[in-house]
């Protein structure tokens, strides 16, 4: 199954750099991208105002499992990059950052390193790489998979916690019937079976 990734970046300043990353991503097998748009389409969406832009972002995020924030000189200050990160968190996407300031733009110029946009949104445990220094061309696939796996593990832990609460609620409803994995008692036995499966 193809891994679909949403790319978030400062359009006006870093579109050329983002295009290089995108082209590297989509030329490999089983990979799809979202969030990349050409200049004419972007101008058309902007005419619709704030809500039209936010709607476009939400639509682009559908079907993605990881959001890659391409960090340039001013990315951390961009209103819609912040919105894309917030929506990605709400959706449950994996997150990672990639500094792209060392990539050359259409004029052959690199840029200065920008601030970490995740730090300003209190996002913890987000891996951040440098496209140039960390060999993004060869490693972006591994970075994306690692981010997706981190989210999957977190989801399993949350599910496990919810099942423990369910088992506690069942136990409270039947105080004279202790619930243990060795002594089946209806629904509670199913809960413990699911817990054992999730904790492998």
Q: What is the pLDDT at residue 156?
A: 52
Helix or strand or coil: residue 97?
Answer: strand
According to the model, what pLDDT value does residue 38 have?
67
HSE-CB at 100 with a 13 A cutoff on CA atoms is 30
pLDDT at 199: 41
Longest dimension (CA), the chain: 76
- Six token digits for residue 124: 């913890």
pLDDT of residue 33: 67
Query: Which residues lie across from 183 on neighbouring strands?
Result: 180
49-87 in b/e form (b: 16+ CB < 10 A) is eeeebeebbeebbeebbbbbbbbbbbbbebebbbbbbeb
pLDDT of residue 192: 31
Q: Look at residue 175 and give its three-state secondary structure.
A: coil
Rounded distance, CA 120 to CA 92, Å?
19
Q: Residue ranges of the domains in the chain?
A: 3-152, 154-198
Question: Cα(76)–Cα(94) distance, rounded to whole angstroms?
Answer: 18
- pLDDT averaged over consecutive 10-residue blocks of the chain (200 residues)? 86 93 81 69 89 95 95 97 96 97 96 95 92 95 93 59 46 48 40 36
Q: Provide the pLDDT for residue 196.
A: 34
User: What CATH architecture is 3-152?
Assistant: 3-Layer(aba) Sandwich (3.40)
Distance between CA atoms of residues 136 and 79, nearest Å? 26
């Amino acid at each position: 199954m193809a891994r679909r990734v949403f790319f978030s970046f400062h359009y006006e300043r870093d579109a050329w750099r983002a295009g290089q990353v995108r082209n590297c991503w989509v030329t490999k097998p089983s990979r799809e991208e979202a969030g990349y748009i050409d200049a004419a389409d972007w101008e058309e969406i902007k005419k619709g105002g704030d809500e039209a832009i936010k709607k476009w972002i939400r639509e682009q995020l559908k079907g993605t499992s990881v959001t890659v924030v391409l960090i340039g000189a001013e990315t951390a200050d961009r209103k819609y990059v912040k919105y894309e990160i917030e929506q990605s968190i709400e959706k449950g996407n994996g997150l990672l950052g990639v500094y792209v300031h060392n990539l050359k733009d259409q004029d052959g110029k690199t840029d200065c390193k920008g601030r970490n946009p995740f730090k300003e949104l209190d996002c913890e445990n987000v891996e951040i790489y440098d496209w140039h220094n960390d060999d993004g061309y060869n490693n972006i696939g591994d970075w994306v998979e690692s981010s997706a796996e981190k989210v999957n593990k977190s989801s399993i832990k949350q599910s496990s916690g919810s099942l423990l609460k369910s088992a506690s609620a069942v136990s409270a409803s039947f105080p004279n019937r202790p619930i243990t994995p060795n002594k089946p008692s209806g629904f509670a036995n199913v809960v413990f079976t699911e817990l054992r499966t999730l904790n492998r």
